[in-house]
Amino acid sequence: MNYVVLLFCCMFLLFSNAQDDLKSAIGAGDFSLGIRSTTSFFDNTNSGLPGIGTGGDFRIRLSDRVNTDWFADYIMSTTNYLKRNDFHIGWSVMFYPFNYSNRGFKPYVLAGHCFDYSQFIDLKNFNHSDDRWSSAIQGGLGTHYYFTDRFDMIFQAQYMMHLGTHLESEVVNSEIQFTTEKGALSEGHLLLTLGFNYKIGKLWEQD
Amino acid sequence: MGARLILLFICISTFLKAQDVSNGERKGLIKATGSLYKSNMLNGSISHFYLGGNAEYFFSHKYSFRGDIYLLIGEKNNAGYSMKNTSMLSAGFNRNFSKGKWCPTIGFYTGVTNLHMVSLLQTFAPDFNHPTVQLIPHIGISAGVQYYFYTYFHFFAEARYVHQLNPFQPTLLDEISYTGGLGFQIPLLK
């Protein structure tokens, strides 16, 4: 958590002071491509370090108020007993309630869906593992910071809830056991994302 | 193939009227470097030596996109394990504070490390059975400075901080690496 906050502060300070590059607002049809890193905090994971993730995304903007984000992330975390790999591929709709121009901060709310692959691996025996596919829904808050009319940074927090079966781990006599649990919305995690996107062009012209 | 590439570079360099990089103009610049990186891990007296390279495109005077690749070619440690053949691939954006021929730079990047860790678990628990090759995500920041002394060449020095998790136990494999050398650039804008 501290690393993410520190990194965000550093990035904001270092990339700021670029207002002179801002030009006219951009809008519907914008296509941008970017990189991102996501830190994952699980509800029910044994004590360990927050997961670190890497990924990419592209955005297609539908209107001044609505944007869409299409992403893929790979997140890894370790505890004293297991290594956890999570792969997310999905989409979110971003809604801008306040600020329609691309200047400085531009907060948004987001909601979306993703497909999720999770893999648990026993650190004492890598042949002992379990995995599952499921889907999830996510929602949260975030903000852009526009350095130029084409280049922006985002920082967002979202909560992701799994809809299908999910894996759980339990330590019994110093041995870890994996079980598959059913129940929609019974597992979730907090995701903090830092990302940078560059607008490549327009897919269609705004009227 | 190699000769054709060299010919292509010469043609591009010859026919383009170069922007004046000595005046701090960076937009449209493509640059590439290759060098040796020495790194120190933060939790342990471990040094690594990477062969690394990067390519960077300046989409404005202040900002650029950069891709990096590194291969670990040597190490010096007392930790009882080896990470030889480890490689890293990353991508990120840089903020450039150009002033004349000088260009201090900071950046953010993310990517994956193809980690080859040998003998770690033999040290801590000899009976463990596990594959030693793991693909792990990493994030990091970088800071450096370039000096553009000629239209097509520059000197550079930089340091990079990599933050990544150990896939075998809940510890970090963070390291700071630093390097310097000669870089090549092609100004594409007239």
Residue A17 pLDDT: 44
Contact residues, chain A, for B60 at CB < 8 Å: 21, 148, 150-151
Contact residues, chain A, for B173 at CB < 8 Å: none
pLDDT category of residue A124 using cuts at 50, 70 and 90: confident
Contact residues, chain B, for A125 at CB < 8 Å: 128-130
**pLDDT tens, residue by residue, A170-199:** 888 878 888 887 766 667 789 999 999 999
**pLDDT tens, residue by residue, B74-130:** 888 766 677 878 999 999 999 999 999 999 999 999 999 999 877 655 554 444 555
Report the candidate in A72, A113, A75, A76 with the shortest Cα–Cα distance to residue A89.
A72
**pLDDT tens, residue by residue, A53-67:** 999 999 999 998 999
Q: Which of A3, A52, A127 sits opposite B129 (nearest CB)?
A: A127
Report the candidate in B135, B134, B136, B139 with the shortest Cα–Cα distance to residue B161.
B139
Which tokens in the block code for residue B126? 């000899």
Nearest chain A CA: its distance from B129 CA (Å): 5
* Residues of A at the B interface, defined by Cβ within 8 angstroms: 3, 7, 10-11, 14-15, 18, 21, 35-37, 47-49, 51-55, 74-80, 83, 123-127, 147-148, 150-151, 194, 196, 198
Best of A5, A9, A33, A123 to substitute, by most chain B Cβ atoms within 10 angstroms, is A123
Q: Which of B65, B111, B168 sits opposite A54 (nearest CB)?
A: B111
Which residue's entry shows tokens 């207002």?
A19
Q: ipTM score of the complex?
A: 0.82
> Are A35 and B172 a contacting pair at CB < 8 A?
no
Ramachandran quadrant class, A174 (left: phi over 0; alpha: psi -120 to 50; beta: rest): left
**What pTM was estimated for this model as a whole?**
0.84
> Are B172 and A37 a contacting pair at CB < 8 A?
no
Report the candidate in B69, B85, B74 with the shortest Cα–Cα distance to residue B49.
B74
Is the per-residue pLDDT at A18 higher than 50? no
Which domains does chain B carry? 2-187 (2.40.160.20)
Residue A204 pLDDT: 87
Chain A contact for B130, CB < 8 A? Answer: yes
Average pLDDT, chain B: 85
Is the per-residue pLDDT at B17 higher than 70? no
CATH architecture of the domain formed by A2-202: Beta Barrel (2.40)
Contact residues, chain A, for B131 at CB < 8 Å: 126
